Structure 1
Amino acid sequence: MPLGGEVFARKASGLTREAGLLDTTYFGIMNNAVPVSIWLTMAGFAWLPGANLTIASVLTLVLAVCGFALVWGILGGSMPRSGGSYVYNSRIIHPVIGLGVSFTNAGFVMLAWIWVLAPWVGEVGLPIMAGCLGIDPARVEWFTSGWGLYLVSSIVNIAAFFVVLSGMKTYFKIQKVFVTWSLVGAVIAGIILTATTHDKFVAIWDKYALQFGSLDFNATVAAAGEAMGGIPKTWNWRSTLGLMLPISWIAVYGYIITFIGGEVKSPRKNIFIAQVLNAVVSIAFLLWVGSAFFRALGWEGVHAVSWIGEEGLAGYTFPFEATYINFASMIVGFNKVLGFIMAGSFIVADFLWISFSYIAWSRAAFSWGMDRLGPRWFTDISPRFNQPVKLMLVMLVLSQAALTQYAMNPEYLGSISVEVLQLISVFGVTAISCMIFPFTRKTKHIWEASP
């Protein structure tokens, strides 16, 4: 197919602008998944001993706001179309580049995210919930691997499909509830940890250690320190810079707003503001909860429980996971209401990631079709659901096949591989597009060319 002429001859898409500033900001915060990203960041101390959370967070925030948010905000406001990076790269650089990068991200990466993240509900979310509610971990063990994990992952995946299928207006209502829940869960954990002194935490730990036959706090720290080859006495730059990778999960993924650019009200203003706000709000949560976690557990304590959470430890026999959520629950005596809210915040935040994969894939492929770079049926919008249902069904079938593979052969480091691929491909190429955007004559008519 010639890459000129009618490639950009787009007609009305059929998608409607239903997202205001709050919806758009929440959409970005949703993909930062605050409770999950805090867990992931704190786990990083097992492999990056001596990292300075404050310095790493501030550096990441500066780069996110002055780099990622600026790039996606400028391009999103200039070309407010649904479709993600494809819309920008195809018009600024070349349709082939735009299509290739978009397929890598919206096609392969979004499928890979479902492959990795849907199982996290069974592998991580359910054990956290069981620990907070005082449920015997053996009762949820079946759901953490094999066919049990496949069942949980499938329920999550299919439910996410139907949430998006219900239409964006319904989706945004569900998103508001779930994102609010995820933030409330983080707030509760933050308040509990902030109100707990180190001495009080040690006393609570030792009380439950006696009850469950586990090592006391000081013995646990000593054993974990020996297992991980020693805990540094102070911070270092190497680990601090390394910690910026897991922190990026909570700072840079607001870029997803670009996938619904054509559905945002007042896009020139709201897209840019939302890109900045979602990064600032999410990093603020990480700094608060993370700092409170350090205050309660101490420098060595955080390193120790991070190691236990990743590798386990002989002598740690608490019947719950070594996460900030479970320790916050322990502090309040395993209050079931607070525990359910905090553990549930992890699960709903993870769930929304799966929903987004359907939105990203369908919007990108829809955009290819609108530019005559994909089959005609890519642009079919269901009059009943106001959604590209056929495209969503393609992702559902492929993701179910991928989940079968993961359940039988888990890839525990798959998330890091997927993120690095995404950073190099879509983020890298789109940054180049933004740099040359002001100097490219063919983009002067961009507003009219992408109605």
Structure 2
Amino acid sequence: MSNQSHMFVRNATGLVRELTAFDAFNLVFAAILIPVGISQALNFGAAAFPGANVALAFILGATLLLIGFGAVYIYFTMAMPRSGGDYVWVSRTLSPFLGFVVNVTLTFVFVNWVSFNFTTMMTLFGPAAGYVMDWSPNVIQWFNVPVNQFIVATILTILFTLLMIPGTKFVAKFMRILFIVVWAGMALWFIGLLVTPNDVFVKNFIEITKTNPTQIIELAKNSGFSVPTGLNWGMTILAMLWAFQNLTGFQWSGYFAGELKNVRRTVVISVLGGLIVGAILYAAGSFLVYRTVGFELFSSLSYIGINMPDKMPSNVTYILPSLTKFFALPTIIKDLIALTFMLSIIWWTPAGFMLGTRNLFAWAFDNLAPSWVADVHPTFHTPVNATIIMGIFIEILNFLNIYGGLSNYLINIIAVMALAFVVVGLAAVIFPYKRKDLYDNAPEVVRSKIGGIPVMTIAGLITMLSWSFVLIAAFSTSQFGLSVTPIAMIEAFSVPVLASIWYFVATSIRKRQGIDISKVFSEIPPE
């Protein structure tokens, strides 16, 4: 294209395809963050959806609905293997405006997880480790002091910003080491669940806490909580919200597709591998928790701990990793497991950082942000400016999260995420028809059909329907079991509004500079 230099910042991105299939899998597997996700899904799921079988919810969500969602990201990545993922795909298929707003929204959600997980490590996993390891109350309380939380979050943000600068190969090595360490610890957790029968768990629980489980169960019942004798299908279906929220991340390979080796093979391995392995481990872990702890006891602990913590006996805790204390394992193994849950936050964080920087890079490459944001360091082959900006942004989120109650404002943000994914599904539905030039030049697997209908279109329809379910469910019950209010939704949907303003201001500035930005979106970015 002769005028390509006027359309894009450069004729080449400067990024290098350095990530192997395992590196890509490790990034998306870290993104679904099973240690944190299973704690949230089981604890909050039990409190928000009484009688729900979270293990079954993960199986149903992954096998029936998320397969189509994964196929959309695989096909789009094969057709347009560039950094930025759904930003590039939606902007080239539906409209630049929608592509930008959808991607800014998803980037905000996912990058927020970096800050939220720093707080999770301090408020939940730190005290849980202290409970298992018998730390003094004063040490455990240290984790709950806001200024301490902010100091730790700030130090981690600085360290991870510096970690991301040397490049993807360096980050990949770091994450390989953490993968081994974290999953050695999680393997011990699974073993602990397997070798601890319910009667042994209950015996240890009584001996250590001096509290009989029947007291906890009665306390929950007297507070309005009741566990049905059979499977509650309605609550189990609603609990699939957690399957969608916690498995989301398995499709992230598309966001850094510009740095994948053998991209067509790698994206299939990483996306499907992340979904299948993640769903199996989530379901198996949930089932084993129910078996070892007892469905009624665990549900009652979660209900009291989340909804009325002041009624919980002082020597009892509901947080999932803290229950390791009652496993039939040596003390040192239980201590290692508790520390593993904390360490998992360190393992996952580079994935969130990388997504944010690569999406910011893609916006700048398309002239929707200053061109210097897309500068790639000639030695490190990484967008250093974008990385520094992302570090500053995460530090702002740390402050707002710890001192401004940001997580409370964004309690219904899963609805925003769901709506964004519905738009991505729509892009997949019409891509074979609207962008026939790109579709016809895509790999053969992308052009496969069933009954004359492109498989990509079918996958897009499944994605639209499944995330529409999440959207509707989010309006009927939020992820933490609180009722949805208009103000909560206005706060959650403020990000797409701000993204819309950003888009129109940026395009107006480029127009005054004599740049016809609409031409940028007629082609996919160069390599």
Question: TM-score surpassing 0.5?
Answer: yes
> Are 1:422 and 2:417 an aligned pair?
yes
Describe the shift of the 1:420–1:163 C-alpha distance in structure 2 as closer, same or farther (beyond 3 A): farther
Describe the shift of the 1:95–1:412 C-alpha distance in structure 2 as closer, same or farther (beyond 3 A): closer
Return the offset for 1:379: 1.7
> Are 1:361 and 2:362 an aligned pair?
no
| Matched residue type, 1:269 | R
Unpaired runs of at least 5, structure 2: 443-522
Return the offset for 1:161: 1.6
Return the offset for 1:444: 4.2
**Contact 1:188–1:342 (CA under 8 A) maintained in structure 2:** yes
Which residue is 2:176 aligned to?
A: 176
Which residue is 2:511 aligned to?
A: none
Aligned residues: 441
**Contact 1:30–1:353 (CA under 8 A) maintained in structure 2:** yes
> Are 1:153 and 2:150 an aligned pair?
no
Which residue is 1:397 aligned to?
A: 392
**Contact 1:92–1:443 (CA under 8 A) maintained in structure 2:** no
> Are 1:218 and 2:214 an aligned pair?
yes
Matches within 5 A, 1:366-377: 366-377=361-372
Which residue is 1:329 aligned to?
A: 325
**Contact 2:201–2:326 (CA under 8 A) maintained in structure 1:** no
Return the offset for 1:438: 1.4
Return the offset for 1:116: 2.3
Could you tell which deviates more after superposition, 94-103 or 436-445?
A: 436-445
Residue number among 224, 243, 249 corresponding to 1:247 in the alignment? 243
| Matched residue type, 1:322 | Y
**Contact 1:189–1:289 (CA under 8 A) maintained in structure 2:** no
Which residue is 1:32 aligned to?
A: 32
**Contact 1:114–1:357 (CA under 8 A) maintained in structure 2:** yes
Return the offset for 1:340: 4.0
> Are 1:260 and 2:261 an aligned pair?
no
> Are 1:278 and 2:274 an aligned pair?
yes
Which residue is 1:127 aligned to?
A: 127
Separation in 2, partners of 1:326, 1:172: 31
Could you tell which deviates more after superposition, 144-153 or 175-184?
A: 175-184
| Matched residue type, 1:156 | L
Separation in 1, partners of 2:324, 2:379: 45
Matches within 5 A, 1:37-436: 37-43=37-43, 44-106=45-107, 108-210=108-210, 215-311=211-307, 312=309, 314=311, 316-318=313-315, 321-332=317-328, 335-336=331-332, 338-413=333-408, 416-425=411-420, 427-436=421-430
**Contact 1:83–1:363 (CA under 8 A) maintained in structure 2:** yes
Secondary structure of the corresponding residue to residue 233 of structure 1: coil
| Matched residue type, 2:81 | P
| Matched residue type, 2:356 | W
Return the offset for 1:244: 0.9
Could you tell which deviates more after superposition, 92-101 or 286-295?
A: 92-101
TM-score (norm. length: structure 1) = 0.90
Return the offset for 1:228: 4.1
Could you tell which deviates more after superposition, 108-117 or 384-393?
A: 108-117
The Cα offsets for residues 275-294 of structure 1, whole Å up to 9 and x where unpaired, read as 11101111111121111111
Could you tell which deviates more after superposition, 161-170 or 69-78?
A: 161-170
**Contact 2:192–2:329 (CA under 8 A) maintained in structure 1:** no
**Contact 2:129–2:335 (CA under 8 A) maintained in structure 1:** yes
**Contact 1:381–1:387 (CA under 8 A) maintained in structure 2:** yes
Which residue is 2:19 aligned to?
A: 19
Separation in 1, partners of 2:61, 2:360: 31
**Contact 2:59–2:280 (CA under 8 A) maintained in structure 1:** no
Separation in 2, partners of 1:315, 1:54: 26
Secondary structure of the corresponding residue to residue 256 of structure 2: helix
Describe the shift of the 1:411–1:233 C-alpha distance in structure 2 as closer, same or farther (beyond 3 A): farther
The Cα offsets for residues 385-439 of structure 1, whole Å up to 9 and x where unpaired, read as 32211112222223222322222233454564333322222x2221111111111
Describe the shift of the 1:94–1:314 C-alpha distance in structure 2 as closer, same or farther (beyond 3 A): closer
Secondary structure of the corresponding residue to residue 265 of structure 2: helix
Q: Which has the higher contact order (CA 8 A, sep 6+)?
A: 1
The Cα offsets for residues 347-367 of structure 1, whole Å up to 9 and x where unpaired, read as 233234433332122211211
Return the offset for 1:449: 4.4
Could you tell which deviates more after superposition, 29-38 or 283-292?
A: 283-292
Separation in 1, partners of 2:240, 2:208: 34
Separation in 2, partners of 1:42, 1:261: 33
Separation in 2, partners of 1:21, 1:236: 40
Identical positions, percent: 22
| Matched residue type, 1:114 | V
Separation in 2, partners of 1:355, 1:143: 23
Separation in 1, partners of 2:367, 2:294: 58
Describe the shift of the 1:22–1:38 C-alpha distance in structure 2 as closer, same or farther (beyond 3 A): same
Could you tell which deviates more after superposition, 72-81 or 139-148?
A: 139-148
**Contact 1:118–1:354 (CA under 8 A) maintained in structure 2:** no
Could you tell which deviates more after superposition, 56-65 or 429-438?
A: 56-65
| Matched residue type, 2:324 | A
Which residue is 1:437 aligned to?
A: 431
TM-score (norm. length: structure 2) = 0.78
Describe the shift of the 1:217–1:93 C-alpha distance in structure 2 as closer, same or farther (beyond 3 A): same
Return the offset for 1:313: 5.5
**Contact 1:82–1:262 (CA under 8 A) maintained in structure 2:** yes
Q: What is the root-mean-square deviation of aligned Cα atoms in Å?
A: 2.5
Could you tell which deviates more after superposition, 154-163 or 19-28?
A: 154-163
